[in-house]
Amino acid sequence: MDRRKKWLACGLAAFVLLSAGWVAFKMWRPHFNGNINALSVDLSAPFAYVFTPALSRLPRDIVQAPVVRDVLTENFAFYYEEQEDRLSLRGAIKRVAYERDTTLSDQLLTEALDTPAEMAWWPDAKGAARYWMLAMTRGTVATAVQGMAAIAAKDAQLKVIGTVRANGADVNVYALMLSSRRTLVLLSQGDRVVVLSDPGLLFNSDRQASAPALEVVTGLLSSDRRLSSAWRRNLGLPAQDEAARSRGNSEIVADARLLSLGYQHFFPGLRAVRFDLAPNGAALHTSLRVANAGTLPASPGDGGLWSALPANPAACTWLPVEWTQMETLMADAPPPGKGADPDVTPPDAAAMKALAAQFEGPAAICWYARSQLQTPLLVARIKADVDAATDAALARLARWIAPGKAKKSSPVAQIGALQWQSEVNAPWGLYGNGDAYKPTLARRGRWISFSPDDKLVELALITQAGGYPGVLDTLPPGAGTTLAVGTPSQVADLLQREAMAVLPAGQEALRQAAQQHLVPRLDALRKLPPARAIAQGMSDSDGWIAVEWQAMPSAPLSLAHQPK
């Protein structure tokens, strides 16, 4: 072999070795390179929580639930049955069972997914609910995990990555590598099993267990029901007794921090939403958790809020706002940039405190089919007629909310209102070439209205003046506090138009896929009747209040009255 061939052979060998080393590095190191707990993941306070008699059955139960079964298809259940991580986990268990220990059943995953379990989720840095933990009581699975030490000593995919002290004993921590992007962590003690979606939920980059995370894991591994119920206590849920487990109901809880998409600061009065799902989807019950009863409408007869909102919305819901947070919000507002218009600065603390003291009760937010998803209408009420100082604070607040090309405040004489408006450049707009909005803040008497769509504010002012029907005019009589209303057909119209608007014009395949898969689901949604959510009594000591959904007759008002 001549020298050139030798150098070529050596180069290829070096390339192969470096590539193999890089692959090994990618397969192992990233799972410990970085402290996920630095993202403020509090394992004791999940953003979403599920208790279910059987995880494997939950997707099919959801599909069979009332209303849901009319919109979703069996593909929803098939997705979770054929989900990538589940298939990878099943394959890994089968391989280990075949290659390392024939006593490790390849049906282990099936047994684990068919047992009562609790599961919790937390968002990653982008807000997606990527990180999760699973806790269960299962002797067979626990025994299998505890017997993995001998296998882990000689298996490349399964490793012992540490030992932690839990409930007075040492517990091995196993890492099961499913792919270069996913490594699961397993711990077992007694009959209890805990699974984490990522080693970084428990360990930092130096593979040292985080003390707060370890405290949660230790509690979940405990056989003491009080210690293992930390998630439920944090969410204000009662401890699961045997009677509750025997009923076979699933509980699904979404914390408001997840539902608010980062805007929880604006309505901290809403804490969580809960769904109780009976086996096979036989019944679906809804509950809300509120911070205090004062964030609800004052009484069943208090229809003032609904009378100030234009009729025929696609969806409307109250917002349990804590108005005292307004002052804090302004304190956190960024300072104006160099050379900024002084009128764009936030109102001072004293003005904000005075303005916040004027507001009372919940606010409401509504979407209309003829507008856009990003341009809802918000309406709130103040306690009494305002003075010039309050209007000045509102004007300055309006300039800070939308510091675009401002228009002078204008009185709307015919309906006794005052409004502040500006023009802001932004994509998907309502004006120009679809690149501008006209956000408007207005006051008529005690009502404050705001929307990036000025036409919705205009319609709200006309409604408050009695020139257009309000939502209250379309509500059937009956006891109970109306918390939300919705017209599925209009929701479907809004979602379809918005979805098609953002699809790239040149991506015909995406548009065809949307027509094939999305539109039929929206057509199913259109067949559902209008409905309202009614609060059932008062909230319990933990803030939970039951909600009943009641079908309503179709709105008697013509769609021609919808804002354009």
Predicted pLDDT at 13 = 32
307 and 415 in one domain?
A: yes
Do 61 and 200 share a structural domain?
yes
Indicate whether 238 belongs to any domain. no
What whole-number distance in Å separates Cα of residue 208 and Cα of residue 28? 16
Helix (H) or strand (E) holding 192: strand 192-196
Would you state the pLDDT for residue 18?
Answer: 31
Alpha helices (runs of H) in 199-266, residue ranges in sequence order: 211-221, 230-234, 242-247, 256-259
For strands 48-52 and 117-122, give the pairing.
antiparallel
pLDDT tens by residue, the chain, 564 residues: 444 434 333 333 333 333 333 333 333 334 443 344 545 688 888 998 988 887 777 777 776 676 666 666 555 444 445 455 554 555 555 555 545 454 555 555 555 666 788 889 888 777 777 888 888 887 667 667 666 665 654 565 677 888 888 898 888 888 877 766 678 888 888 888 888 888 888 887 677 888 888 999 999 998 888 888 889 988 988 876 555 565 678 888 988 888 776 667 666 778 888 888 888 777 778 888 887 655 555 444 456 889 999 999 999 988 877 787 777 766 666 655 444 455 566 667 777 788 888 888 888 999 999 899 889 999 999 887 677 888 888 888 887 777 666 555 566 655 778 888 888 888 888 988 888 999 999 999 899 999 999 999 999 999 999 999 999 988 887 656 788 899 999 999 998 888 888 887 777 888 888 888 788 888 888 888 898 888 887 778 788 888 888 888 765 454 444 444
Instruction: Tell which residue, 115, 118, 109, has the closest CA to residue 138.
Output: 115
**Amino acid type, 548:** E
Say whether both 309 and 446 belong to one domain. yes
Q: Does residue 482 share a domain with residue 370?
A: yes
Q: In 10 A of CB 564, how many CB atoms?
A: 9
341: in domain = yes
Residues 183 and 318 in one domain: no
Which among 443, 485, 481, 477 has a CA at the least distance from the CA of 361? 481
> Which of these, 139, 74, 92, 80, lies nearest to 112 by C-alpha position?
139
Whether 242 is covered by a domain: the verdict is: no
**CA distance linking residue 174 with residue 366, whole number of Å:** 49
Quote the pLDDT of residue 503.
80
3-state DSSP assignment of residue 177: strand
**Whether residue 445 sits in one domain with residue 300:** yes
CA pseudo-torsion sign 550, 554, 556, 559: positive
The pLDDT value given to residue 550? 84
Four-residue CA torsion sign, 108, 114, 115, 121? positive
Residue 15: per-residue pLDDT: 30
82 and 196 within one domain: yes
Domain termination site, one of 201, 222, 243: 222
Last residue of a domain, one of 161, 189, 222: 222
Residues 326 and 180 in one domain: no
Tell me how far apart the alpha carbons of residues 102 and 138 are, in angstroms, rounded to a whole number: 20
Residue at 559 is within a domain: no
Please tell me the distance from the alpha carbon of residue 503 to that of residue 514, in angstroms, as a whole number.
Answer: 9
The reply to whether 365 and 463 lie within a common domain is yes
Cα separation of 142 and 189, whole Å? 7
Q: What is the pLDDT of residue 465?
A: 92
> Is position 563 within any domain?
no
Question: What are the contacts of 77-84 at 24+ separation with CB within 8 A?
Answer: 81/56
Alpha-carbon span 74 to 63, nearest angstrom: 7
Give the 3-state secondary structure of residue 197: coil
Whether the full predicted model's pTM is greater than 0.75, yes or no, is no
Asked whether residue 237 is domain-assigned, the answer is no
* Rounded Cα distance, 549 and 315, in Å: 14
How far apart, in whole angstroms, are the C-alpha atoms of residue 461 and residue 271? 31
Distance CA 490, CA 369 (A): 5
**How many Cα atoms within 13 Å fall on the side-chain side of residue 462?**
14
- Domain count for the chain: 2
Do the Cβ atoms of 417 and 455 come closer than 8 Å?
A: no
- CA dist 176 to 84, 183, 216, Å? 15, 6, 21
Q: Which of 178, 201, 222 is the last residue of a domain?
A: 222
Measured distance between the N- and C-terminal CA atoms of the chain, rounded to whole angstroms = 81
Q: Which of 515, 41, 62, 529 is nearest to 279 (CA)?
A: 62
Concatenating the DSSP letter of every residue in 224-238 gives -TTGGGHHHHHTTPP
For residue 319, the surrounding DSSP H or E stretch is strand 315-319
Is 418 in contact with 448 (CB distance < 8 Å)? no
Give the pLDDT of residue 4: 41
Which pLDDT score, from 0 to 100, does residue 316 have? 92
Structure tokens at 314: 């696609």
Residue 247, classed as helix, strand or coil, is helix
Q: Are residues 378 and 477 in the same domain?
A: yes
Closest CA to 453 of 481, 500, 494: 494
State the residue range of the domain holding 337: 295-487+530-534
| 215/301 same-domain check | no
Contact 443, 386 (CB under 8 A): yes
Q: Which whole-number Å values give the CA distances from 242 to 231, 236, 256, in the listed order?
A: 18, 19, 29
**Cα distance between residue 198 and residue 135, in whole Å:** 14
